[in-house]
Amino acid sequence: MNAVLVVNSGSSSIKYQVIDERSGDRLAQGLVERIGERGAGRVVYRSAAGEAVTEQDIPDHSAGFAAIVEEFRAAGTPIDSLGIVAVGHRVVHGGSDFIAPTMIDDAVAQRILDLAELAPLHNPGHYAAIVAARAVFPDLPHVAVFDTAFHQTMPESAYTYALDRGLAAEHGIRRYGFHGISHQVVSRRAATHLDRPLESLRQIVLHLGNGASVCAIDGGRSVDTSMGLTPLEGLVMGTRSGNIDAGAILHLLRRGVSIDDVDRELNKRAGFLGMTGSNDFRDVRAAAAAGDEAATLAIDVYVHRARHYLGAYLAVLGGADTVVFTAGLGENGPDLRALICAGFEWCGLRLDQAKNEAPGSGARVISADDSEITVLVVPADEEAEIAQQSIALVASS
């Protein structure tokens, strides 16, 4: 059996899954959270054998991995009995350096840390987890799979901000895009589901989760995406504003709001949360249905922004063969999907109301049979994709 330990780490958490590469089955999964909070650490382990939740002091990521290994041992399935052949690390920011999954050595790990300049909330945690995991599993290959890599095929015109060239170069300011693992796997699965070659398709993928982005994909290559230098740009999200006039930020700064507060307002207190008091679309939907005007407006703003991108990417791609919805709201929001797609009949996009509203969990078509653009819902399974990309790299090197 070939299994991959997929690690998704943050500054204070490690989420992991052990995935059987061939079947995609989860052999075990869990998380360690509140790393570095004195006496508050929490370790969760789940497998077919059962679930264990323990509270313990986890001072750093090394202690986190030690706790994970101990949970496997206590469950009677030591981690080295699972046939793990690689560790796949999800890394949010690969800058312009990493255009594909990359075998991690000391230099690659250091470069991931250096890129913390562009992703201060993410890359330091990735680095800490990589160092700790390499120490705990020194004999396994460790692979970094980047959220930015898929978008490195964007043309210069799509990734360049209209700034002074020297300033942009000095500070690494350009659009990178994120959610690349999801956009890549979802567009590939859509092609497989339709039994059409990926290379022949112009696709628009809407990843609508807590974080959200849209991607224009031409023949399997990302040519434009809504997130930019950071995951703040683009769509309205659970707690992020998405697009906002940079002048509004200057205005807040000039009025004495601190940089940290502006950061918090835009990244953690905006979006659905800022407009309605909840970041969860289920709450927003229920409030709107009960006549709450702020919730109704928030949905209107969300849909308006998403439709902007749908229209823009129809222009970028010269039309589209598929429009694909994925992630929490994309998979579970038939009402949102209908609102976003409404009025696009002029370009041959017609939803089938019954198909759109029918419950389902797998990849499925929700457009009418006579729709020129095929609309699909495709679940995102980013961890399985990280496992596959990690194994493929290990096998080829």
Question: The tokens of 358 are what?
Answer: 């029918």
Task: Mark whether 147 is an active-site residue.
Answer: yes
Q: Which of 176, 304, 285 is nearest to 235 (CA)?
A: 304
The residue count of the chain comes to 397
- Does residue 189 have a known ligand-binding role? no
* Sites for ligand ADP among residues 371-390 (CB under 6 A): none
| Residue 238 interacting with ligand ADP (CB under 6 A) | yes
- Tokens 């909330």 belong to 121
- Does residue 281 have a known ligand-binding role? yes
CB of 351 to ligand ADP, least distance (A): 17
Q: Which is nearer to ligand ADP, 148 or 371 (CB)?
A: 148
Q: Which is nearer to ligand ADP, 266 or 373 (CB)?
A: 266
- Does residue 330 have a known ligand-binding role? yes
- Does residue 319 have a known ligand-binding role? no
Alpha carbon separation from 385 to 18, 93, 207, 213, 350 (Å, rounded): 13, 17, 15, 18, 30
CB of 207 to ligand ADP, least distance (A): 8
- Does residue 198 have a known ligand-binding role? no
Edge-to-edge strand order for the sheet containing 374-377? 221-225, 212-218, 202-208, 322-326, 374-377, 364-365
Nearest residue to ligand ADP, scored by beta-carbon proximity = 328
Q: Which is nearer to ligand ADP, 228 or 334 (CB)?
A: 334
Binding mask 275-314 for ligand ADP (x = CB under 6 A): -----xxx--------------------------------
Q: Which is nearer to ligand ADP, 57 or 280 (CB)?
A: 280
- Does residue 207 have a known ligand-binding role? yes
* Sites for ligand ADP among residues 183-212 (CB under 6 A): 209-211
Angle between helices 281-289 and 293-317 (to 10 degrees): 120
CB of 115 to ligand ADP, least distance (A): 21
Q: Binding-site residue total for ligand ADP (CB under 6 A)?
A: 12
CB of 79 to ligand ADP, least distance (A): 25
Beta strands in the chain (DSSP E): 3-9, 13-20, 26-33, 42-47, 50-55, 84-91, 102-103, 142-146, 202-208, 212-218, 221-225, 322-326, 364-365, 374-377
- Does residue 209 have a known ligand-binding role? yes
190: which residues sit within 8 A by CB, 6+ positions away?
Answer: 201, 203, 205, 322, 324, 363, 376, 378
- Tokens 């990589």 belong to 130
Binding mask 318-357 for ligand ADP (x = CB under 6 A): ---------xxx--xx------------------------
Q: Which is nearer to ligand ADP, 176 or 178 (CB)?
A: 178
Question: The tokens of 15 are what?
Answer: 């989420």
Q: Which is nearer to ligand ADP, 19 or 181 (CB)?
A: 181
* Distance, CA of 315 to CA of 318 (rounded, Å): 5
CB of 282 to ligand ADP, least distance (A): 5
Among the options 147, 218, 224, 381, which is catalytic? 147
* Distance, CA of 101 to CA of 391 (rounded, Å): 10
CB of 271 to ligand ADP, least distance (A): 10
Q: How do 3-9 and 322-326 pair as beta strands?
A: unpaired
Q: Which is nearer to ligand ADP, 69 or 121 (CB)?
A: 121
Question: The tokens of 281 are what?
Answer: 């679309």
Question: The tokens of 222 are what?
Answer: 């990302």
* Distance, CA of 232 to CA of 280 (rounded, Å): 18
CB of 229 to ligand ADP, least distance (A): 19
- Does residue 280 have a known ligand-binding role? yes
Known binding positions:
8, 15, 90, 207-211, 280-282, 328-332, 382
The residues that touch ligand ADP, with contacts defined as CB under 6 A, are 209-211, 238, 280-282, 327-329, 332-333
Known binding positions for Mg(2+):
8, 382
Which residues are catalytic, by number? 147
Known binding positions for substrate:
90
